[in-house]
Amino acid sequence: MSSSSPEVTVVPEITYKVIEREDLEKPYRVIVQNDDVTPMEFVVTVLRVFFGLTFSRAMQVMLTAHHEGRALVETLPYEEAKERVYNAHHTAREAGYPLTFYLEPDE
């Protein structure tokens, strides 16, 4: 006669963290960084195409970056900002330019 006891399985406690939609939509500043290689006309075109800036606003942003080393492009929800920066970087690399954007939390 075999005396076997039933197997006991211990299930670890699972903790869920609810991420609020507003956390996903927190605003981030898109910053363009100056470089000495990318033509000014190309920067203006990228700002207009990927960030929807008017010609005069794109010129202003480009010139600010040129003179001050960086400039605020616009403030967007994180996911949207990340996607636009990715697309702008991809286009710049395809054209052989080091044009760089980065994100900063808008606090």
Domain boundaries, the chain: 27-105
Q: Give 73-84 pLDDT, tens digit per residue.
A: 999 999 999 999
pTM for the full model? 0.77
pLDDT of residue 107: 79
Q: Give 31-59 pLDDT, tens digit per residue.
A: 999 999 999 999 999 999 999 999 999 99
Do the beta carbons of residue 101 and residue 31 sit within 8 Å?
A: yes
CA dist 26 and 83 (Å) reads 15
7-36 as b/e, with b when 16 or more CB fall inside 10 Å? eeeeeeeeeeeeeeeeeeeeebbbbbebee
Pairing type for strands 70-77 and 27-33 reads: antiparallel
**In the numeric block, which tokens belong to residue 95?**
């054209």
CA dist 31 and 23 (Å) reads 21
Q: Which CATH class is domain 27-105?
A: alpha beta
